[in-house]
Amino acid sequence: MSTIQRSANAIRMLAVDAIQKAKSGHPGAPMGMADIATVLWQQFYQHNPGNPKWANRDRFVLSNGHASMLQYALLHLSGYDLPVEELKQFRQLHSKTPGHPEYGYTEGVETTTGPLGAGIANAVGMAIAEKTLAGQFNREGFPLVDHYTYCFLGDGCLMEGISHEACSLAGTLGLGKLVAFWDDNGISIDGHVEGWFTDNTPARFEAYGWHVIKDIDGHDEAALKAAIEVAQSVTDKPTLICCKTLIGFGSPNKSGSHDCHGAPLGDDEVAEVRKQLDWPYAPFEVPEDVYAQWDANEKGSEAEALWNKMFEEYAATYPDLAKSFKRRVIEQALPADFNEKADAFVRQCQADMQDMATRKASQNAIGFFANQLPEIIGGSADLAGSNLTLWPQAKGLQDDAAGNYIFYGVREFGMSAIMNGIALHGGFIPFGATFLMFMEYARNAVRMAALMKAKSIFVYTHDSIGQGEDGPTHQPIEQLANLRLTPNLTTWRPCDTVEAAEAWRQALVKQDGPSALVFTRQGTKTQARSESQLADVAKGGYVLKDCAGKADIVLIATGSEVSLAVDAATALGEQGVGARVVSMPSTEQFDAQSAEYKQSVLPAGAAKLAIEAAHTDFWYKYVGLDGDVVGMQTFGESAPGGELLKHFGFTVDNVVAKAKGLLG
């Protein structure tokens, strides 16, 4: 048996043993792809297990995330901080080997995969980040950013629509350092795929503009090595290597069938696998010579040392670029004076008192912050002119590899998952925009960003029935509640230029997760604020307008409905009702404040009425069961936005009537 075969069999047996011990998992893909993984990781993959965050490492994405034991075996064998005891805890609570790869749990795992197709889209984002970062920082003789993104994917990934969105864009952008390996084993959970997946996949990828290498024997070392070498030689196109494999390779009775896809092999079959693979070792036992073959620490540390030496020379030649690279890529920190400049911008917005749609206020904020942060990379799903995401210095990547803007086309889901890949790569803060309604297309990617705590900024405009004539297909109702209920995601719906600027600042300084910034199509009125009120905007909820003495009722509003609440409070005051207005641009940010502060804003005993052109149910956590909400419980209609707002009760008269009804 060759050295490479023994190395691959170590993967197979670790996977089989871990899955058998857990009595849960997917052995088929790790067994089938072990040879591909061995050739790639031992002969091509550039990484340093001693420093999993080395800036110029290759990225590896297991898009078929159910094959997680393949990745855990690779990391363990290569020398990462993943001892065999963790493999024995596969799929157990708080282990470093969860059922699907989880970013942040395991060193060397670059992204969370599980939802099929998400990984390849993340990989496209990583490849974009590599190419763009290289365009911005590389200079002649200094290939500072020079690495590949490798992605394993299966039939299921290719069936998912997101793979079309992401791979089509990858071809258009000419991502030459993206190499994908298709595990063409003809099996999915339900059985042989001929009944539901008969695409001409090579032709499909050729149509995208990819370089395609067909009919590679996924168990042939020489063929795999040659294919990867050819892939690396093609620099202007991403490459798909089509690998014919046998699912469950090494299992005498279950290979080639769906029986080994998503269930342990069973003790008897595991014993037969040991015989078949000539692996006379106990469960989880790997011979020292195999460990020695796999250990990548020495090679990895040498590669990083050479890169560090180059970086020192680069810093001497291009000190400003080196300083920027270190801050953005290695430290992933904002400039020291960022908050000072952001404060000045927010104050200027307050002083200017300009009335405008918050989408326009967002555009102004983008223009300001992008000039402070070259790491901002923007984009829109074919709605730049509506989302207002372009700024004077925006440069499309299709024209300039060193640019800062991605025209994603009509690919909301693909865009959002690609953004996650860019964020995880490092060196960039990505934002991408669409109408709030079409967050629905991208929902899974938004959730994945939150799960991974990736610093993606999701920009949503046309945020309510105020969207108007496009009708209920374009008018969000339940989407704000959906976003607000997502753990780790902070959602902002600002009411004016000031809150829009603060929302952008808060999204940019947040280090532990994504943000959703939600803006209006219709115009808004900038509200007057004292110094203390201006400071309180960052708390997510604050008293914007108060009455003399104790408030009889508190009006809570967000976004375009804040000015309505202010006008209604004035009308109530004229009728002898003391009304307080609370602007709550971010419920998550408000919820994070002290109990004392929250009580000071929303005092117990006062009646509470929430006003928002979105679903009512979310707001009962603030108004209580004895409170009320002016909101939506139906879909919208097609008509001018102003008419719709009146039709659905977003008027001073209706708010006043609701408030007085609460007071009896």
What lies within 8 Å, CB to CB, of 579 at 6+ separation is 547, 551, 552, 553, 554, 555, 568, 569, 572, 573, 659
SS3 557: strand
Burial pattern 344-360, b for ≥16 Cβ within 10 A else e, equals: ebbeebbeeeeebbbbb
State the Cα–Cα distance between residues 38 and 298, nearest whole angstrom. 18
CA distances from 648 to 38, 296, 570, 635, 654 (A): 62, 64, 21, 10, 10
DSSP string, 341-387: HHHHHHHHHHHHT--EEHHHHHHHHHHHHHHH-TTEEEEESS-HHHH
> Which residue in 160, 221, 304, 412 is the catalytic one?
412
CA nearest neighbour of 169 among 216, 218, 134, 120: 120
State the Cα–Cα distance between residues 346 and 498, nearest whole angstrom. 6
What lies within 8 Å, CB to CB, of 47 at 6+ separation is 54, 57, 58, 60, 78, 108, 296, 300
**Dihedral angle sign, alpha carbons of residues 270, 272, 276, 281:** positive
CB atoms within 10 A of CB 598: 17
State the Cα–Cα distance between residues 108 and 234, nearest whole angstrom. 27
Residue 412 annotated as catalytic: yes
CB atoms within 10 A of CB 60: 24
CA nearest neighbour of 365 among 338, 389, 386: 389
CB atoms within 10 A of CB 453: 18
State the Cα–Cα distance between residues 184 and 243, nearest whole angstrom. 6
Using left for φ > 0, alpha for ψ between -120 and 50, and beta otherwise, residue 91 falls in left
Q: How far is CA 172 from the centre of its chain?
A: 21
List, by residue number, the catalytic residues. Answer: 412
